[in-house]
Structure 1
Amino acid sequence: MLFTKTGSLWVSWVRINLIGTRNFWELNPSSSGSWIWRKLCKLKSLARPFLVCEVGSGQTASFWHDNWTGLGALIDLTGTIGPQVVGLPLNSVVRDAIRGSAWWISTSRSRNPIISLIKGLLPEVGNMMVCLEDDVYLWKPDHHPPSPHFSSPKTWLALNPAGPPVSWHKSVWFKNRIPKHAFICWVVAWNRLHTRDRLRRWGLSISPSCVLCNGFDESREHLFFECVFSQEVWVFFTSRLNLNPPASFMDCLQWVNSATRDLNLSLIIKLLFQASVYLIWKERNSRIHSTTTRPPAIIIRDINQIMRARLDPLARNQRNATPGSSLLSTWFRFFP
């Protein structure tokens, strides 16, 4: 079953008190029940493709509405005229379609395309008439066989398929990152920051100049790191690490993940890159929305403090590190 014992009791109560003799798939979610029940009913169209009925006695499964053939709801294949053409009411269960030991429609000689379609879709009756087992509803969110257990992760992936991987994801979503820094870096990677060049393309009448240097038009590429302000911040750290990163943001984003084979230094570089992006963007916004302006030296000082605060607990967890080889020791070797 898709539900625990407690869940089964709740489902039974819902069937008796909220569904009654009506078909669940035809319920009007705004007509009755609590707020949460109405919200659940509105998700019917999303859930329907994942729900498969394994027929036992055929006394519960809806002939027209449930996916008991593995091909979806028959009413979707025939259209609303299907029940009238076939001669089986819309509220019929699977067992209602059996006469003796065969489907009632098997004796029809009609050449109606809908009847021919239904004939071709119906499975063998088998021992359904003598079966005492209930019809069972299973969950099938992917290509694997239907399961009696609901899986939130699999359902989420089915509703939100993963897009193609990007080559720079390890430069953003790495272990021990600072979440807010990684998020802003991810937004910059997709070029979704509200930089002035984008705002002007949207029709806003604003100055195109960079608020950090006032010398060039503001864009992602200018802010990170062509601007003399942001360049002073970023070069301060890379020069002390004896590194020469690429000029463009996207090239630099790729570079930080392979700048060195030293694991400690690799993490430090990625943390520095994201901290620089985050605090430069923060300073840019502060200058627009307030009268406060800070020089690059203050941004560098703040990044230094952030790095020490982040590396300290990580260094404490490096229990097998030899003296002088921890993350914090590596940091102080370059930034005493």
Structure 2
Amino acid sequence: MVEKSLWVRWVQCYLVRKGSFWSIKENTSSGSWVWRKLLKLRSLAKQYIKKEVRNGESSSFWYDSWSRFDTLKDLLGERGPLDLGVPDHYSVAEVKRSRRRSRRRRNHRVDILNQIEEVISRLDNDSDEDIVLWKHAEGKFKTNFSTSKTWNQIRNVRPVCTWHKGVWFSQSTPKYAFTMWVAIKRRLQTTDRMQQWNSSINTTCVLCNDMPESCAHLFFGCRYSGMIWRKLVEGMMKDAFTVDWSELISIVSKSWVTPIKTFILRYVMQATVYTIWWERNARRHGEKPRDIDCLTKLVDKYMRLKLLSLKGRGDYYEDGLITWFGAQPNS
């Protein structure tokens, strides 16, 4: 039981005292910073919790959602305890006992108060403890609390990102992954995008000097970048080899052949995208162009260094060098 927790018992004794967690003033100076933050989240939390009354001892008459009227204090306001003749701090059990002692049902001029009296009169004399119910879906409450179910109700649900595993994976290099992410989001400042605000810009690809530059062209529709990609992974991909950007994103976003080959393909693709983008920017700023073999060897070096850094960790990456060397025609 949660009530047996030392922390819960301390909070009940020194912070909640005879009242209810829901009735504590939000501007209280008692308790820690965390406690005051919890108090501010009550309006959100109360939407996802209600009580199933048995003996009524642990259910607040005014502040817990235990009847079809939800929270009675929200329904009747500050005058509710006075109009109904029930003190603000009473539990449901205390209300049951007080009504039994009076031996007659109270009648009110306001219909809603009479409806609440009817609910009170129908409460059973159960000896079992009250049950806390947590909202799992609209109109569906269960006795177990689910963090994921609650989170899915609080957050704004967005479409599932199908390509995230191809970008964010264990042992990736942050600057490579970031460049890959920006490329997939179509936010790289390629000339086809730059032309939208500067129509006079030259959109010809600086790598091949043949076609207009776009993200799909740079990776790897361009004959320059396409040749680099072919030299790096054709030996490993074999019949699955492609230079189509959309197809490659789909391939690296799923498990491919074996775990080590999946890692190598994802990593080498990110390293190649980063290196080609770097070369493209260098050329546009007047630096000396590097040939296909130079960039291929550079990406190959990045891949080997990454695999060497993983060697000796006792996982399947130790086989990475063998797999990578075996796929390279000149190794």
* 1:250 counterpart letter in structure 2: S
Instruction: Pick the aligned partner of 1:25 from 13, 22, 26.
Output: 22
Is the alpha carbon distance of 1:59 and 1:240 closer, same or farther for their aligned partners in structure 2, counting shifts above 3 Å?
closer
Other-structure match for 1:126: 124
CA distance in 2, matches of 1:211, 1:3: 68
Match of 1:193 in 2: 187
Runs (5+) with no aligned partner, structure 1: none
Equivalent in the alignment of 2:143: 146
Q: CA RMSD in A?
A: 5.0
How high is the TM-score relative to the length of structure 1? 0.65
What does 1:23-102 correspond to in 2, within 5 Å?
A: 23-33=20-30, 34-55=32-53, 57-69=55-67, 72-76=70-74, 78=75, 80=77, 83=80, 87-88=84-85, 91-93=88-90, 94-98=92-96, 99-101=98-100
Counterparts of 1:119 and 1:283, CA distance in 2 = 79
DSSP-derived class of the 2:22 partner: helix
Give the Å deviation of 1:273: 2.0
Q: What letter matches 1:307 in structure 2? A: M
- 3-state secondary structure, aligned to 1:25: coil
1:236-315 residue pairs with structure 2 within 5 A?
236-241=231-236, 242=238, 245-256=241-252, 261=257, 264-280=260-276, 295=290, 299-312=295-308, 313=310
Q: SS where residue 50 of structure 2 aligns?
A: strand
Query: Deviations for 1:36-76, whole angstroms, at most 9, x for unmatched residues?
Result: 33222222233222333354543452223212237743445
Structure 2 gaps of 5+ residues are none
Q: Given the two structures, how large is their TM-score scaled by the length of structure 2?
A: 0.66
CA distance in 1, matches of 2:56, 2:200: 68
**1:53 aligns to what SS in structure 2?**
strand
Matched, 1:225 2:257: no
Aligned partners of 2:200 and 2:94: how far apart in 1? 70
C-alpha contact (below 8 Å) 1:64/1:75 kept by paired residues = yes
Report whether the alignment pairs 1:12 with 2:5. Answer: no
What fraction of aligned residue pairs are identical, expressed as a percent? 26
Question: Distance in 2 between the 1:51 and 1:2 partners?
Answer: 15
Contact 1:52 1:146 in 2 (8 A): no
Q: Please report how far the alpha carbon of residue 126 of structure 1 lies from its aligned counterpart in structure 2 after TM superposition.
A: 1.0
SS in 1 for 2:9: helix
Q: State whether residues 59 and 135 of structure 1, in contact with CA within 8 Å, keep that contact through their aligned partners in structure 2.
A: yes
Q: Residues of 2 paired with 1:280 and 1:69: CA distance?
A: 65
- Asked if 2 retains the 8 angstrom alpha-carbon contact of 1:61 and 1:135, the reply is yes
Partner of 1:159: 154
Aligned 8 A contact 1:54 1:138 in 2: yes
Please tell me whether Structure 1 or Structure 2 has the larger radius of gyration of its CA atoms. 2
Q: How many residues align?
A: 317
In structure 1, C-alpha distance between the alignment counterparts of 2:104 and 2:164, rounded to whole Å:
57
Change (3 A) 1:45 1:332: same
